[in-house]
Structure 1
Amino acid sequence: MNYESNRIDQDEPLALPGEGGASRRRWWIIGAIAAAVIIVALAFFTSGSGEGPAGPSAEEAADAQIPRVSVARPGTSNVRRVVTGTGSIAARREMPVGVAGEGGRVTDVLVEPGDWVKANQVLARVDRSVQSQTVESLRAQVRAAQADAQLAQANLDRAKQLIDRGFISKADIDNKTATRDAAAAQVRVAQAQLDEARARNARLDIRAPAAGLVLTRNVEPGQIVSSGSGTLFRVAKGGQMELLAQLSESDLSGLHVGDPAQVTPVGSEESFAGEVWQISPVIDPQTRQGTARIALSYDDALRPGGFASARIIAGASDNPILPESAVLSDNKGNYVYVLDAKNRAVRRGVTIGEVSDEGVSIASGLKGDERVVLSAGAFLSPGQEVKPNLVKMER
């Protein structure tokens, strides 16, 4: 029997039942994982080398960096120039009324503030008891002078009848003629004195110089008045009012007589139509302002001395109108961006006109047919290329 063939090598491990199959499965798993890693790596390097799907080109990337902006052709619109100001309401023609005659004690005051009066209407009466007696005395003197004149005329007529008979000389006729003429002159003197007294008495009454509205009354019955008493009544001629609007020097330069205006008193929502009837020829050197006088028709709400605001339409012009977002400004002034033929932004200096709810009118700098950047102008720089999105502006 050969024992060598049945010897077991002590250095070689013994294999247990089923252990060989498990080892083979482990090696298959490791191999599969390694293969997956290699495939993923190959896919990554393939896509990075350009052999996979192509990414955006350089031109497309540059095009994506060009900003898109909204632009419009503003055209031109009829823009009214509106000037605003404030001031006090006053009577357009205020007439101070005082004592025209010698004065005296006031017996009656016939009007109150707010009353309408006619021309030459009596506002107040002054006592004339003494002056009335003077008038009666002068009236008597007139009658006496008239009687003397009638007697002188009768004597002259009789003398003329006797001259042909030789009973009276021509010299006597001349004397009687002179007597008659002197008597007639005396009548005229007496009549003139009477008329003067009547005129003086009429001046004792305080009368309205013209038709209008009584604004103030500064006299009471029993008061002693004279030519030095000052103003007793103030009357607005025709009831016409005006607003003394204070405006800056630049605003006044564009106004004209006849420009329409709307006046709104403080505390009132109602506006009153008027027009500029006078523009101040001088400027206050301290405030650099002048006065535009706006004529107004009478209304109860227009009280002299009250405060009011005014909107004056100082002409109109055809100008482009832009939204406020389109107009920019810096230390060089106001400007907008317009696009040239290559869609590049070009800075354009402009002069702003009226600013309203409709937008900003451009007084100069634009014709209206340019493509103007409406928004995002603050983020642009001159010469920068943009993608224009043309929009239509609403009128």
Structure 2
Amino acid sequence: MSSSPPTDPHTGPAAPPAPESAHDLPPARRFSSRTKWISWVVAIVVIALVLFLLLRPGGETTEGTGRGGRRGGPATTVGTAKATARDVPAEIESLGTVTPAATVTVRPQVSGIITKVLFREGQLVKRGQLLAVIDPRAYRAALTQAEGAFKRDRATLENARLTLRRFQTLLSQDSIARQEVDTQAALVRQLEGTADVNRGAADAARLNLTFTNIVSPVDGRVGLRVVDVGNYIGAGDANGLVIVTTLAPIDVEFTIPQDQVPVVQQRIATNAALGATALDRTRTNLLDRGQFLSLNNQVATDTGTVRAKARFPNSGGALYPSQFVNLRLLVNTLTGAVTVPQTAVRQGTAGTYVWLLDAENKAHQRKVVTGPSIDDSVTITSGLKVGETVVTEGGDRLTEGGKVQTAATAAKAAARPGGKGEGRRRRAAN
């Protein structure tokens, strides 16, 4: 039996002894406590490491990644495409201005009072269509006078010719002097000249009478008229009566860079028909199709371009004078040209290049020379062959000789058991 602690008759039972401090413990007991504490820490670390290894995504390693899959790192995922062959139109694109094929200010050729205006402003008219009438009475009277003078002179001339024939008969009979015959012959020639003058005057009067009818010289659309009925208008008036512009066909003026002019001239020399296409400002809506018309004979020194024209039928009226359009001139067609997506072509300090994949899915830079573009593709005139694989996405993460994988390959790897996708699904299930 254990003995109870002694009691004090005045204060009650004695207090138990205070516990010993770590410094008061024997060395063996201090070592045992420290060992237990370290064991617990090690156990917690081991458990955490095991859980990390079990739950981490499958297929990942702790090796350094490195750019482009170098030094044993994972392959860089990229988008790829193969170089293909297609027929590509070689076109010149330029901003153009629509201009009428003809612009005519209708001016009267005789003076007078306008008695009729036979057109509406903005009306489409045909060549020779009557537009207005000038009072013809004075011109009709002048024609009558000129025709009368011509008839008089013609009768006088006929009488002189009869007299000359009689004189010639008498001269053959030696009944008249030769001087009288010569004088009569000179009179006939004089009267012939007078008759010609009056015939010309009659023709001029007749022409002036026709000029009182003002007609359109071209097919087109009339503008705003300058004068109304009752106004006096002079011959060759600077303002004229109205302006007529030809809208069908219609022209588009544009410029060609001087370094592309030789190609156009070569095509013109072979009498090739160069097709032209007019598009709206957004380059999405087709306005009309036409043909190349003409090329100017000099280079503009301030822009380094040459002015040119293309003509369009404009049967639908989509083109209007002074309208701005985007024009494409088809110079040639590249048959079987090598094309790649535009996203595959990159610019660097060494020039234009693409990332090319070899048989081992390693990326290599390849210098290329580009040509015309079509849709979302660009032609490669040098440096690439049909069927070769180029990188279209992710090229900024590549280095020379780096290992790559396509997006499709990466997706298949992630879907396999133990892959990244499988690891994520396992964690989600847990």
| Equivalent residue number for residue 97 of structure 2 | 88
Superposed, 1:1-395 pairs within 5 Å as 65-67=74-76, 73-99=82-108, 101-112=109-120, 113-119=122-128, 121-160=129-168, 162=170, 167-209=175-217, 211-216=218-223, 217-221=225-229, 222-236=231-245, 239-245=248-254, 255=264, 258-264=273-279, 269=285, 271-287=287-303, 290-299=306-315, 300-317=317-334, 318-340=336-358, 344-386=362-404
The letter of the residue matching 2:150 is V
Looking at structure 2, the residues matched to 155 and 76 of structure 1 have their Cα atoms a distance apart, in angstroms, of 95
The letter of the residue matching 2:333 is A
The letter of the residue matching 1:293 is K
- The 8 Å contact of residues 69 and 375 in structure 1, kept in 2 or not, is answered as yes
- The 8 Å contact of residues 252 and 279 in structure 1, kept in 2 or not, is answered as no
Deviation, 1:241, is 0.6
Gaps of 5+ in 2: 1-38, 47-60, 64-69, 410-430
Q: 1:86-136: per-residue Cα shift (whole Å, max 9, x none)?
A: 33322123334323x3533333333344333235x5433333433333332
3-state SS, counterpart of residue 196 of structure 1: helix
Looking at structure 2, the residues matched to 246 and 93 of structure 1 have their Cα atoms a distance apart, in angstroms, of 20
The letter of the residue matching 1:277 is L
- The 8 Å contact of residues 226 and 239 in structure 2, kept in 1 or not, is answered as no
Moved more, 81-90 or 65-74: 65-74
3-state SS, counterpart of residue 76 of structure 1: strand
| Equivalent residue number for residue 413 of structure 2 | none
Q: 1:285-308: per-residue Cα shift (whole Å, max 9, x none)?
A: 445555442211143333223333
The letter of the residue matching 1:116 is V
3-state SS, counterpart of residue 261 of structure 1: strand
3-state SS, counterpart of residue 90 of structure 2: strand
- The 8 Å contact of residues 338 and 380 in structure 2, kept in 1 or not, is answered as yes
Looking at structure 2, the residues matched to 156 and 355 of structure 1 have their Cα atoms a distance apart, in angstroms, of 88
| 1:234–1:335 Cα change, 3 Å | same
The size of the alignment, in residue pairs, is 337
| 1:124–1:337 Cα change, 3 Å | same
3-state SS, counterpart of residue 229 of structure 1: coil
| 1:346–1:194 Cα change, 3 Å | same
Looking at structure 1, the residues matched to 330 and 161 of structure 2 have their Cα atoms a distance apart, in angstroms, of 77
Q: CA RMSD in A?
A: 4.1
Q: TM-score, normalised by structure 1?
A: 0.68
- The 8 Å contact of residues 260 and 276 in structure 1, kept in 2 or not, is answered as yes
Deviation, 1:212, is 1.5
Gaps of 5+ in 1: 1-36, 45-55
| 1:270–1:389 Cα change, 3 Å | closer
- The 8 Å contact of residues 263 and 271 in structure 1, kept in 2 or not, is answered as yes
Q: TM-score, normalised by structure 2?
A: 0.63
- The 8 Å contact of residues 71 and 390 in structure 1, kept in 2 or not, is answered as no
- The 8 Å contact of residues 75 and 369 in structure 1, kept in 2 or not, is answered as yes
- The 8 Å contact of residues 260 and 275 in structure 1, kept in 2 or not, is answered as yes
Looking at structure 2, the residues matched to 228 and 74 of structure 1 have their Cα atoms a distance apart, in angstroms, of 67
Deviation, 1:357, is 4.1
- The 8 Å contact of residues 135 and 197 in structure 1, kept in 2 or not, is answered as yes
- The 8 Å contact of residues 113 and 134 in structure 2, kept in 1 or not, is answered as yes
Looking at structure 2, the residues matched to 288 and 163 of structure 1 have their Cα atoms a distance apart, in angstroms, of 84
| Percent of residue pairs identical | 21
